[in-house]
Structure 1
């Protein structure tokens, strides 16, 4: 095609590779107990602390200022430019995911907002050094929309992804890599440079994705066939804090499992009393 594959800071070679491997792993592992009802519809298994999730998102956002500008590998004038495009895409992704989840589900879902910010960051990673500020905003906006519907899609085909990592890293990594062929000022279609670079980007995505799927399937399959990749049903139900670490993360706090156990005990006691 006349041009090389362009992935400045790793939308594909970092994020999509991890996303492909995670998707294959999720398929080999299967969904968590109780995730999907008999009719195939997903049941919500919420995370334990959304405040900590949001804190983690903000820490990642800050860390991306080392990840993307650091890929310049030199203290050049391009570093602050990359930092700005990165920040714009992240903010746009968060806004877009907020609006999209609000329209789609009737509520501004915080977990979707977090994933929207991360989607914008992943999406801009490939082209952060070559797109305009306006292009960065558009890349982030589109990533924020894509990630919401991607989460819904994977749930619809019963691929259990507790935090939406496949949607963020795989799907938005693919989008960010394609976006180079559209928005890059020196290579992109929208700047009059034709379809050549876009074709290279597609070829790179397919080649790297195929290799990763095959390699990770071999690894996941080998692990599953030998040492196993899933805890026992009992350990899964009581939680890995107890099963693997021998302690509760929130000792003393009333939890759903405590209420269920207490209800079962009361019902059993009532049954004996009625005899």
Structure 2
């Protein structure tokens, strides 16, 4: 067993876990003051629920072994409760439980991302039901489509589910998704769009009405997300080697460029560069580089960041044009940014991209992967959300929304300025 790589994976897992509290601060600062606890609790609720479900059966669905690599839905009965991964084989590079822990943090943050689309108006209990069902029916299987690996019957190493390994058998190249552009960002963004449609628009929804109550929280959250993202991207190599170093550098370059591009577009469009724009631009660049961080030269990572920052800055206004209320721009940043990063690889992936010595095959498989996940996640999320809305109710009453849902849902206030006792 390689103790260095084991330590690397465990540290990366801890960094990724930190991203969920970071997301809570990022989202919490963007909502109104009377909804900050509700918003942050949806991230912490996802952390608790998905952490438990992952151990019980999530890992068994996401990583059913080689026999499940070419199928859209499979489960390894022996991995339920992690019973068959407790021991470390003598020839293993790292303990299987280290990988289990690393992938658990991916599941948690993906579910938490969705919550930003329904800020200020969702019931916590309904959100928790949605989170558990969506993770079971959507995230765990989609993670298998992208990340699942195991040994084939002939003893050869088979990596990836049908999106990566299966498409390679058909097109000669598999879809590239180094750290989760499809499984995490497109997946969460599509579900966010579905829930925004199910819950409908906030009271008084229009441009400029809902403003962030705490920009310092947003900047703090963005900083924690960026810090954790090094574990997200570099850690996905599962070894402390040159590819991990490349992913690390690209995780600096792309979001830095995206931050600058967002601020420039914001200055041209609105007259002023804002702190919210800086934070949002960095996150957009992080989203876009996630699938591509191990497959791009750093100069092309900068170009990707510039494109993602500019396009996502414009994309967040689509909700006003099209009339859907994605409260915290999960669609404009994660869905759009994930699509940009995933499709960009079809042109600039090292060795296989259309402009990097390859042909159109890489672009074709990137598009198949992106839109397969988008459609699957959107349809299932819409159905799950609609059923919850029609049964237990997903959205709070309008009067509770206007008053702020922290006291109604959680019996707490984010800011207490006087002591009534």
- Give the TM-score category using the shorter length: 0.7 to 0.9
> Which residue is 2:413 aligned to?
248
- The 5 A counterparts of 1:73-222 are 73-222=238-387
SS in 2 for 1:189: coil
CA contact (8 A) 1:24 1:217 kept: yes
Q: Does 1:70 align with 2:240?
A: no
Any unmatched runs of 5+ in structure 1?
37-41, 254-275
Alpha carbons 1:34, 1:43 under 8 Å: kept: no
Does the CA contact (< 8 Å) of 1:94 and 1:114 recur in 2? yes
Deviation at 1:101, TM superposition (A): 0.7
Aligned pair partner of 1:27 in 197, 204, 207: 197
Q: Residue 183 of structure 2 aligns with which residue?
A: 13
| RMSD, aligned CA | 1.3
Q: Distance in 2 between matches of 1:228 and 1:78?
A: 47
Question: Which residue of structure 2 aligns with residue 232 of structure 1?
Answer: 397
CA contact (8 A) 2:194 2:379 kept: no
Query: Residues 11 and 173 of structure 1 are in contact (CA less than 8 Å); yes or no, is this contact kept in structure 2?
Result: yes
- The range that moved more, 71-80 or 10-19, is 71-80
Whether the aligned pair in 2 keeps the contact of 1:115 and 1:164 (CA below 8 Å) is: no
Runs of at least 5 residues in structure 2 that lack an aligned partner in the other structure = 1-170
SS at match of 2:355: helix
CA radius of gyration, larger in: 1
Query: How many pairs were matched up?
Result: 248
Pick which of 169-178 and 209-218 moved more.
209-218
Partner Cα distance (1:148, 1:79) in 2: 29
Mapped to 1, the partners of 2:377 and 2:230 lie a distance apart of: 27
Who is 1:267 aligned against? none
Instruction: Determine helix, strand or coil for the equivalent of 1:103.
Output: helix
Deviations 1:211-256 (A, max 9, x none): 1111111111111111111011121111112212223322238xxx
2:208 and 2:322 map into 1 onto residues whose CA distance is 13
TM score, norm. by length of structure 1: 0.87
> What is the distance in 2 between the residues matched to 1:183 and 1:120?
16
- For 1:3, the equivalent position in structure 2 comes to 173
CA distance 1:231–1:248, shift in 2 (3 Å): same
Question: For the residues of structure 1 that align with 2:185 and 2:310, how far apart are their CA atoms?
Answer: 18
Aligned equivalents of 1:167 and 1:151: distance in 2?
4
Comparing 241-250 and 224-233, the one that deviates more: 241-250
Shift of 1:16: 0.6
